[in-house]
Structure 1
């Protein structure tokens, strides 16, 4: 970038293209290693057909070409190396392959700590029965010093990441998925949602991935050498992905590295088909070709934002099949558009039902009227007083499903405020929050007059109001709460505190 007119900031075009090219080269390296693995078990024809099916027929095509700026294509290649070095070490037990395996494992875990599950591959490789399991254990014990060396090398690869976190985040281990909306909920795995939802289901956007699972049958019959590591890894990986509350991507990119393993049962399926008569091979090709074309076109649609990474629905999916351009009418079939800023706006109320969820006029606070300097209520006979001793107003605290059973709704909150204090514009907040049942914030908003760029005129009633779109919820038992908070030194009065809900149901 320093030799061009572009900014040397890490984000300009030269850096973007460098990232894309590097990702492409890494993907090619993954293909080369995958070919070497396949040739260990299959002939050239099966290997070539399997690679074509995998890389043209699944979403790895998108993430190894157009969308390769994410780490998953690198993980795919690293997983390929893990498999390759596992094969080589089991052939001759040379220390060099143990070191190489530790190196690949370490870099993989440095990229994503959850990839420690890749250890399933070398531990269970070659296990086909209880007898072979014990033999495998005995082998690991026999070469235990090589195993220790591999573990040490892996740890050394992770160590710089620990020091990086310590230097820039103050911790040796940093969990970047620490907000309630993006966390691991092992008690509530959503298998059907992950695999078959039209929002981003793996088998919906990569239907040819199913062929690898069909191939597991032939794996069991003919290649038990790698059957159990594939099944165990896939089961654990699927459970973890299904338990994660937020992975926004086209066709669940978290499965991309799995293809390094799944290419083997896909090879089993391909070998089975290629052994059949000509008409079976031709018929299979005719059935698979449209799905390959669909996959390539959907990758293009994703790049052109015809396919949305997170808001897809069944209706929109079928509306846009084969389309290069979509209309606003088409896009109206997408899920609700969640703002990437702190501010929400109800863009349209048609199709939404209005219901009142809070209407406080503080008629029971008429005793406050005797206070010196108390203003005349904005409406009715009562107002509510906030000060240092009483900083929070009454409000609403209810479960999500008591307002709506749908996946979203809007709230429009408003309150009238009167004060002579100088700090009201900055220190009085209208708060709306959604929390999990165990009190972790999913979405917290607290806006003042200043935040919303609203003037506050002292000595008169001023309206504070904003819209709030609920966050993604998982049980509908989440808690929705709202109140007014005054964090200043003076006195504020509030009146006509209302919240209306706009719900799809």
Structure 2
């Protein structure tokens, strides 16, 4: 049974572990799940269903009070309407969970029905956990089309326990990244079925998934490239393949479904700003001539390969993947170059307070492909147990550093090489540690795309 259903057993173990960790480590008991960025993604729901005011007219009267409580956060457009910085895609995904908490609060609990009391905090934790596990389930189904069950199982374990998906699925719940992880895994699983079977239901599902994926984070439109072209049939050229997709009647159904998903957001923007499309990030922008790709990958502030070293193995896995599937390896490599460039051209390339490069959780389903290819190659080697030392250590390191971050030992935005090496695998903060940290220069980064002043942590 272990050999035949290894990946399923791994998935069951991950699910139980995730839900246990989420229940124990998430901050729902302190009402600290719906905070910071989570408030912006989520607040469409209480505004609509509790305040009965989807256009946020209530906000102007008590703006300071709401900001102090950390319950709502929006900016005033030139036309006078209030608009949250983030769009409502994640709120749409959280809606079923919100309605459960709202019903429970009204009829069973004594908690205040304000959208931010403990039942709402707890249910958003459940939303994060369920989408994370469903994403892993769909990823399992997709990987098994290309790899054996054992390789798939090891890949799921490495991804679920050895990356910062674990932290954002169980500790700092409520962020959008597990939701994006789920949507990308769903798109990878459904697209070949949609292309081959061409059914109405699959077309609607695919359109909804892509619509949400781009609505939550517009940069995710870049994900369409690997989703589509990694599944190009052997022997078919890229242009004929693309023409075959564009000629499908089902494509119009998917586009219509995506537009329907976008419609509430478009109407909201139109009514609040006078424009169907509205840039809600104000003076925050990309600096295309000043990308920070190297820092995004290797810096001790947020480096992807520093805080998620499992991805080094995924990058190395592109080599065996190229031998197995040249098309997918080429597509992934090209996509990574473009996506990393765009991601780290953002003015705040470290993306504020976070454990590692949290924005790259969104592309982990894609990175599972070369990671699986690497595990497949390792499984064929005579001394494969030696080669498994690295991923096992990376899982241990990820869990330990997740604990360090949750305790405040790893600082949320001011880490340095000196600070990292001082705190590495420590269960306390050594004397002189805090003096080695440097506060990011937010002001000049936002103005010029680069930091110009170095300030010790205050």
Give matches, 1:61-140, under 5 Å: 61-127=166-232, 132-140=237-245
TM-aligned CA distance change 1:233 to 1:101, over 3 Å: farther
Structure 2: distance between partners of 1:140 and 1:216: 27
TM-score for the superposition, normalised by structure 1:
0.64
Indicate how the Cα distance of structure 1 residues 193 and 83 shifts in structure 2: closer, same or farther if over 3 A, else same. Answer: same
The alignment partner of 1:332 has SS state of helix
| Aligned partner of 2:276 among 172, 184, 187 | 172
SS of 2:360's equivalent in the other structure is helix
Larger-gyration structure (1/2): 1
Contact kept in structure 1, 2:125 and 2:173, CA below 8 Å: yes
Bigger helix share: 2
Aligned 8 A contact 1:128 1:228 in 2: no
Q: 1:54 to 1:183 in 2, by over 3 A?
A: same
Residue of 136, 158, 166 corresponding to 1:31: 136
CA contact (8 A) 1:109 1:158 kept: no
- SS of the equivalent of 1:163 reads helix
- Secondary structure, counterpart of 2:206 in structure 1: helix
State the shift of 1:296 in Å. 0.5
> Out of 150, 161, 164, which is 1:59 matched to?
164
Contact 2:290 / 2:449 at 8 angstroms: preserved in 1?
Answer: no
Corresponding residue for 1:366? none
Matched, 1:194 2:170: no
* Structure 1 residue 128 displacement after superposition: 8.0
Partner of 1:9: 114
Q: CA deviation at 1:268?
A: 0.6
Match of 2:450 among 471, 474, 490: 474
Distance 2:451 2:433 in 1: 29
Q: Structure 2 CA distance, aligned partners of 1:63 and 1:4?
A: 27
Q: Deviations over 1:177-210 (max 9, x none)?
A: 222xx42111211111100000011110001111
RMSD (Å), alpha carbons: 2.7
Match of 1:216 in 2: 318
Match of 1:240?
A: 342
Q: Aligned pair in 2 of structure 1 residues 195, 128: CA closer, same or farther (>3 Å)?
A: farther
Deviation at 1:46, TM superposition (A): 0.5
Residue of structure 2 equivalent to 1:262: 367
Match of 2:418 among 301, 306, 315: 315
Q: Which is further off, 149-158 or 88-97?
A: 88-97
Structure 1 position 220, deviation (Å)? 1.6
Q: Which has more strand, going by share of residues? A: 1
Q: 1:214 to 1:36 in 2, by over 3 A?
A: same
Cα displacement (A) at 1:122: 4.0
Residue matched to 2:49 = none
Distance in 1, Cα, partners of 2:184 & 2:239: 25
The unaligned stretches of length 5 or more in structure 1 are 339-406, 409-433, 443-471, 479-500
Contact in 2 for aligned 1:127/1:228 (Cα 8 Å): no
Q: Which residue of 2 aligns with 1:455?
A: none
For each residue in 1:328-354, what CA deviation from the matched residue of structure 2 results, as whole angstroms up to 9, or x when unmatched? 632222113x8xxxxxxxxxxxxxxxx
